[in-house]
Amino acid sequence: MNGFIFKANKRFKNCLSNSLTNYETITRNGFGRIATSPEKGDRYARRYGLKRVNLFYLHEHAGMIQLMVKGYKAAILFTECEPVTHDPENESALHGDISDSDFSGEMDSRIERDCAAFYIENLDTFDSLWAYVRENYVYIQGGLYGPYEAGIDFWLTRNGHGVGFWDRGLGELGDTLSAACESFGEVWAYLGDDSRVHIS
């Protein structure tokens, strides 16, 4: 399955920095088929093996994806910035005063698309996860595990940081999400010549 065709309403587009057009396929590399009508969307779905997502159902998850993006960005800053041990000879390294406002537009778009694609690909698992968290009171750092924490774990798990979904007391659901990260592969942040942070 390469992506998902959906119609993004204003709320959903705003949550992803208006980086999505009216009808678009979310794919991992940021490219997709644009469907100018629901009928074309159906044809694309059949031709390219894409899954149609219930539009209203997806819009309900827009806020979840937005929180996931925030957690993902926080994890990047936590793991990639070295406030004390920064090596000035390594020009590509991130130093301690970097913030997400230093991320390039391309990086922001890539983060949004990766998080949206991961969330949408695993909608059923995430639905089950939120129910599991409420029923079993899964806490992390003093609060219930939620989409912000899932964004952190997406970054940590896909890049092999030694902690992640499987390490949060989420049972088989954590293992399922960990396995789902494998196909997204590793990515790395670096400081570009333009003094903006980019992602590989």
**Total residues belonging to the chain:** 200
* Whether this model's pTM surpasses 0.85: no
Highest mean pLDDT, choosing among 67-71, 91-95, 139-143: 67-71
Which strand (E) or helix (H) includes residue 198? strand 197-199
Token output for 137: 């009171």
CB 65 within 8 A of CB 8: no
**3-state percent helix, strand, coil for the chain, nearest multiple of 5:** 50, 10, 35
List, for residues 108-155, the tens digit of each pLDDT value. 888 888 888 888 888 889 999 999 998 888 877 768 889 999 999 999
* 12 HSE (CA, 13 A, CB side): 21
Q: What is the mean pLDDT of residues 81-93?
A: 55
